[in-house]
Amino acid sequence: MDYSPYEQMVVVLARDLGDWERGHVGGVRAEIPWAACLLAQKMQAPNLQIMAPPGMQPQVSAIVHDVGDYRLTRRCEALRNFGDIFRDSERGGLDWFFYSGLQIDKYGNFNLHFVGDWEKPTLRGPGLVFAAATTTGKHFYLYPIHHDKRVFVEKVDFISGAGHLDGPGGRERAGITTEGPRLCVTPRCVFDFDPESKVMRVKSLHRGITLDEVVGNMGFSPVLPGKLPTTEPPTTEELRLLREEIDPNSILRP
């Protein structure tokens, strides 16, 4: 069956979420992490705790594009507010969060604030919500919806969210005790991070994508493993759940 790049991104993220883990969603295309969380709940993680900004464990008839929409939480187990989110995250109670990113560098630091000089930027980005999860959450996921040289840069112009900072030991030196970036999932491939160098490493290429299409569209050289597998495409069951139960309005297939 044919599927969209967004659906491929959703299933990669969904498969990585563990049962009983806690987290919530963000980013410029929030339908992608929303769908990943809901799919994980229906597949391997029935006890996944979705702690969304408006409400806990939302019962969703169809995902939407944004984060706080009340169509997502008019049926949920408890309402939620920023005081709750502040306490839960500063205390270190979240397992993960999702970010997109204007710029992402080889250590998984990301920038949503300034392109260029802070005083005189060529682009002032929107900023972001909930960078706290990069330092207090157990780990986080990056899901840039564009895979190009503007996004993947050698060094970000501003650290809005903390990846491995300046490389091995960077997080520890800054007093951060958690894992940091875990996967970076793009419309072309999946990256993880090399355990030694902490540099982004190609994990798998999506079906039909060449290595050159991945590396040739980046401003730094990712680590290349000896073998480059193809990303496991969405299964029939994953696509059925996505299309019938999670995304009946097909917003993941724009």
For another protein, the binding residues (CB under 8 A) are: 28-31, 53-55, 65-71, 73-74, 79-83, 85-86, 89-90, 92, 112-113, 118, 120-136, 158-162, 165, 170-171, 174-176
Q: In this complex, which beta carbon is closest to another protein, that of residue 20 or of residue 118?
A: 118
Task: In angstroms, give the least distance from the CB of 108 to another protein.
Answer: 12
Tokens linked to 176: 């951060």
Contact 220, 153 (CB under 8 A): yes
Please state, in angstroms and rounded to a whole number, the distance separating the CA atoms of residues 53 and 42: 21
Task: In angstroms, give the least distance from the CB of 70 to another protein.
Answer: 4
Task: In angstroms, give the least distance from the CB of 3 to another protein.
Answer: 20
Q: Is the Cα dihedral 2, 245, 238, 49 positive or negative? A: positive
Task: In angstroms, give the least distance from the CB of 247 to another protein.
Answer: 14
Q: In this complex, which beta carbon is closest to another protein, that of residue 68 or of residue 216?
A: 68
Q: In this complex, which beta carbon is closest to another protein, that of residue 83 or of residue 208?
A: 83
Q: In this complex, which beta carbon is closest to another protein, that of residue 178 or of residue 217?
A: 178
3 state SS of 189: strand
Q: In this complex, which beta carbon is closest to another protein, that of residue 126 or of residue 208?
A: 126
Q: Contacts from 120-129 at CB under 8 Å and sequence distance 24+?
A: 121/157, 127/160, 128/26, 128/99, 128/160, 128/161, 129/26, 129/67
Task: In angstroms, give the least distance from the CB of 130 to another protein.
Answer: 5
Name the residue among 130, 142, 249 with its Cα closest to residue 192.
142
Q: In this complex, which beta carbon is closest to another protein, that of residue 3 or of residue 158?
A: 158
Please state, in angstroms and rounded to a whole number, the distance separating the CA atoms of residues 27 and 16: 18
Name the residue among 179, 80, 168 with its Cα closest to residue 138.
179
Task: In angstroms, give the least distance from the CB of 179 to another protein.
Answer: 13
